[in-house]
Amino acid sequence: MPVTAPKRKGTQGAVGAAGSTWTEKIVMYGFLAISAVVFLLPFAWLISGAFKTQAQIFAPTPTLIPPDPTLENFKTVLSDASLPRAFFNTTLIAVLHVALTLFLCSLAGMAFAKYRRAPGHGWLFAFVLGTMMIPGAVTMIPIFVILAKVGVLNTYWAMIIPGAANAFGIFWMRQYITANVPDSLHEAARIDGCSEFGVYWRIVVPVIQPALGALGVLVLISVWNNLMWAFIVLRTENMQTMPLLVYLLQGEYQTPYGLIMAAGLVTVAPLIVAFLLFQRAFISGVTSGAVKG
């Protein structure tokens, strides 16, 4: 009988799978590239407008690349006497708010992760998660009234304390600690004579540094760009923040868009620098189990 060569089904299947994989990669990277262009286009227009005059911005045929770049907008913004004070206020508020948020949220996250036998643990955690469904606009007036009664309006505390212990941060830290800090390590530290706060500071904090870095970047972006709350609680010029300063650049009859774009670029630059410095911690915190149950 004639001998026939066996069919190489495995090879054909492998080739088909490889082709399918390449097709999926092309589609995925194409979608990501289009999404990146869509999200970066407003930022590119911000940079472009910062180097344009008012007439160039409203030209009949606007261009992304300024035909005749000018630095007049930046000169006007940087010559504003209130800019250094606003930058100092924003930096101080952001640093203190981020530090307080990381401390309170990580401490509460450890309590929810490691003290599961405490009475009412489940109900309390459900209540904390439930507060995430309450819109921020609903709580603005009650918080404003409380701050007015306490007498801390138009102070740094009015910008630092509200929202420091937020539900998202507590949930984030609780999930990360549950996934990355074993109960055996916690118990071993207790047996060695470590206090409860000592366990948190010496054992938990070093392990959760990636989650702290990721949460810190998110909170920094939120508090740095906080315009609405600053507009409500800050009253005097010496307490202005950078977003508030940019907002007040609007004219009564004509808005200097080039000036506002230049001020916006100056305002967002520290956030870009901060993200570049902490991007490894941010990516590590997001991808290393921070949302595992």
Helix axes of 167-180 and 209-224: crossing angle, nearest 10 degrees: 170
Average pLDDT, the chain: 87
**What pLDDT does 116 receive?**
87
**What pLDDT does 220 receive?**
93
pTM here?
Answer: 0.84
Domain 82-287: give its CATH code.
1.10.3720.10
Helix extents (H) in the chain:
9-50, 54-57, 72-78, 83-114, 121-130, 136-150, 156-160, 167-180, 183-191, 196-198, 205-207, 209-224, 228-233, 242-247, 257-287
**What pLDDT does 81 receive?**
83
pLDDT tens figures, 168-204: 999 999 999 998 888 888 888 888 888 889 999 999 9
3-8 mean pLDDT: 53
Measure the CA–CA gap between 118 and 194, rounded to whole angstroms: 20
Instruction: Classify residue 77 by burial, with Cβ atoms within 10 Å: 0-12, 13-18, 19+.
Output: buried
Measure the CA–CA gap between 261 and 258, rounded to whole angstroms: 5
pLDDT tens figures, 200-230: 999 999 999 889 988 998 999 999 999 999 9
CA nearest to 90, candidates 224, 245, 232, 237: 224
